[in-house]
Amino acid sequence: MHSPIIFNIDQITEDWLTSVLKKSRALIQGEVVRFDLRSGKGNWSRSAQIRVQYSENAEGSLPQRLFLKMVDTDLGEGESFGDSEVTYYLRDYVDVKNAPLLRCYDAGYCPELQRYHLLLDDVSETHCPATEKEPTLEYGMALAEAFAILHARWWGPERLAEAGETMHSASHILRFAEMAEPGVCPILQGFGSELKPHWAERLKRFFDQHPKAMIRRAADPEGFTIIHGDAGCYNIMVPRHSEQPLYLIDRQPFNWSLTVWLGVYDLTYALVLDWDVEKRRAYEEPILRKYHESLLRNGVENYTWERLYDDYRLCVAMGIYIATEYCRGGINEPLTHIWLPMLQRALIACDDHACDVLW
């Protein structure tokens, strides 16, 4: 984590690329003699796609296409990112076989500068964001297995302690909920006609009751692990012409996000918020059972199917937080096509699973 921070594409040179690729053992002999790049911009970052050419005597895996991500972690108004995305690649899963992560060749984080960078494989020729493909049962099964591999690594209080992680306090859980609550009134005022009649009352009660249920559940750490936390379809890279391997990218929790939580939350986020309702209804049970089986196969013990299903129901309702947070500063008109379907799908799933009885 002490690599010099790259925060401008002008810092990219043949010498720097040669150095970091040799350090990662992707380049054993030779050097980078030329590169071309195309700059880009994400929601919270700047980036560069880099095409690399090597000297004739070069040996190693010699990646031809790289992706550099540069992040300013200070978002203003008391919000920030930390080093989570750096530890995602450099610490959390480096010893996990078949972890669904891109190869990372270099990364650096500096709290003083409030910046970090990542140099990753660029898989854009072979993969696309999951939003560009219609979800299938096969994809859902692959996603369940991918999350189980990651979640099993830090499952339970003993392993979390090894990672230096702890369960969130009640105050942190309440803050997570409070970040989204201001979005409820604008949504009900501006889009009440887009919601079923009984949903308005549910939304009014939800922010008083559901956080308490989350706090009660957190009193028992079984089922909790380090999560991705933002497993939407834009953060899952899938093969263009098959279902595997897939990659989970952009683990960038805010300082108010949940980072240690019920593992099934990640899978719930993907299924409930992004999938068509009928497909979710048809496929969610086999996908959840695949997730449970994969957890057990990867060493998780004493976590029953019944407990998993109740945890899923608790997490289904958490989709409401994700959707309403988009409008915490008033109706987010440019992104209505994202948050409104999310909210509708979360509320439909709450109806389907009678989630209200949990609180």
- Stretch 12-23: mean pLDDT, rounded? 97
Per-residue pLDDT band at 3 (split at 50, 70, 90): low
What pLDDT was estimated at residue 2? 52
- Cβ atoms of 287 and 241 closer than 8 Å: no
pLDDT in tens, 203-235: 989 999 999 999 999 999 999 999 999 999 999
- Stretch 103-128: mean pLDDT, rounded? 96
Instruction: Give the separation between CA 319 and CA 272, rounded to whole angstroms.
Output: 7
Per-residue pLDDT band at 4 (split at 50, 70, 90): confident
- Cβ atoms of 219 and 210 closer than 8 Å: no
Average pLDDT, the chain: 96
What pLDDT was estimated at residue 165? 95
Per-residue pLDDT band at 266 (split at 50, 70, 90): very high
Domains of the chain, first to last: 9-121 (3.30.200), 129-358 (3.90.1200)
Parallel, antiparallel or unpaired: strands 236-239 and 247-248: antiparallel
What pLDDT was estimated at residue 119? 98
What pLDDT was estimated at residue 124? 95
- Tell me phi and psi for residue 187, to 5 degrees: -65, -45
Tell me, rounded to whole angstroms, the distance of Cα 301 from its chain centroid: 24
Per-residue pLDDT band at 43 (split at 50, 70, 90): confident
Please, what is the Cα angle at 319 between 315 and 325, to 5 degrees?
135
> Above 50 in pLDDT, residue 1?
no
Instruction: Give the separation between CA 320 and CA 47, rounded to whole angstroms.
Output: 31
pLDDT in tens, 130-156: 999 999 999 999 999 999 999 999 999
- Tell me phi and psi for residue 333, to 5 degrees: -60, -45
Instruction: Give the separation between CA 323 and CA 345, rounded to whole angstroms.
Output: 10
pLDDT in tens, 235-265: 999 999 988 899 999 999 999 999 999 999 9
3-state secondary structure at position 162 = helix
What pLDDT was estimated at residue 242? 86
- Cβ atoms of 150 and 100 closer than 8 Å: yes
pTM higher than the cut 0.85: yes
- Stretch 299-305: mean pLDDT, rounded? 97
Q: Which helix (H) or strand (E) holds 32?
A: strand 32-41
What pLDDT was estimated at residue 44? 83
Residue 88 DSSP class: I
- List strands edge to edge, sheet with 115-121: 32-41, 45-54, 65-72, 115-121, 104-110
